[in-house]
Amino acid sequence: MPTGVAIRDVREQLFAAAERVLLRAGPSALTSRAVTTEAGCAKGVLHRHFADFDAFLAELVLDRIRGVEARGAALREAAGAGSVVDNVTAALTDLFGPVALGVLGLITSRDTLRARLRRTTPAGVPLLTEAGSVLAAYLTAERELGRVAPDTDTDTLAFTLMGSGHLLFAGREDVAREGVAQGGVAREAVRKVVVSVLAGAVREP
């Protein structure tokens, strides 16, 4: 790794390398050596920027959570436009993309990583919990616009959608790595779940 490279750039390169390993070989293949080899740098580079490998993995997850929250802001801005069902279907399909499935597999497979993440996500599954909050915020915005029934419990709806979506995609990590899981069949399956969960809540033609 060249000297003088900004710390943020190094972190992003290492995160991107970790994602490629996850997509190609799954959580069990993710080691510090695999990450630095993928990134094309010396193993010591990772340990110069992170206390240990679990600290690196925790920051990787937190970085992906920040990405989900950023997409959530765009989703809230879409309230009032298009179809609520279509907007939620697109959001769920995006949230359970190949990288997210890999990161969720990583979280569930490493006890020490989950323990670290409890500092920022004290309840629920990290990443899923924040994604559920994003969906709840969007549904609340739609409720305020009258496109979702006024007595709707948007938090319950959002986490029902997240749980259903997770079950729908769970075990499909290998398919996701081949770029198939978000194709037409999967999207229609997601839409079917969304229509069922939102039945009676959506107030639009």
CATH number at residue 12: 1.10.10
Q: Are residues 42 and 78 in the same domain?
A: no
Confidence of residue 181 (pLDDT cuts 50, 70, 90): very low
Contacts of 44 (CB under 8 A, 6+ apart): none
pTM higher than 0.95 = no
* Cα 110 from Cα 57, distance rounded (Å): 10
pLDDT score of 163 more than 80: yes
Per-residue pLDDT at 8: 57
Q: What does the CA dihedral 192, 159, 54, 7 come to, rounded to 10 degrees?
A: 80
**Residue-wise pLDDT tens digits, 65-112:** 999 999 898 999 999 999 999 999 999 988 888 888 888 888 988 888
Contacts of 18 (CB under 8 A, 6+ apart): 30, 35, 38, 56, 57, 60
Q: Are residues 95 and 194 in the same domain?
A: yes
Say whether 138 sits in a helix, a strand or coil: helix
Q: Are residues 74 and 168 in the same domain?
A: yes
How many domains is the chain built from?
2
Confidence of residue 177 (pLDDT cuts 50, 70, 90): very low
